[in-house]
Amino acid sequence: MDNLQVLDGLRVLVVDDNPDNLELIQFILEQHNVQVTVVTSAHEALSTITLLKPNILISDIGMPIEDGYSLISKIRNLTQQVRQIPAIALTAHASIESRNLALDTGFSTYLAKPFDPDELIAVASNLAVEHKISAEKV
Rounded-to-integer distance, Cα 47 and Cα 42, Å: 9
In a domain, 135, yes or no: no
Q: Residues near 130 by Cβ (< 8 Å), separated by ≥ 6? A: 86
Query: Digits of tens for pLDDT over the chain (138 positions)?
Result: 456 788 999 999 999 999 999 999 999 999 999 999 999 999 999 999 999 999 999 999 999 999 999 999 999 999 888 899 999 999 988 788 988 999 999 999 999 999 999 999 999 999 999 988 866 544
Local structure of 4: helix, strand or coil: coil
Domain span holding position 17:
5-129
Q: Which of these, 51, 71, 52, lies nearest to 61 by C-alpha position?
A: 71
Give me the number of domains the chain comprises. 1
In a domain, 63, yes or no: yes
In a domain, 71, yes or no: yes
Residue 63 sits in a domain whose CATH number is 3.40.50.2300
Q: Which of these, 7, 4, 99, lies nearest to 61 by C-alpha position?
A: 99
Cα-Cα-Cα-Cα dihedral sign, residues 44, 126, 1, 75: negative
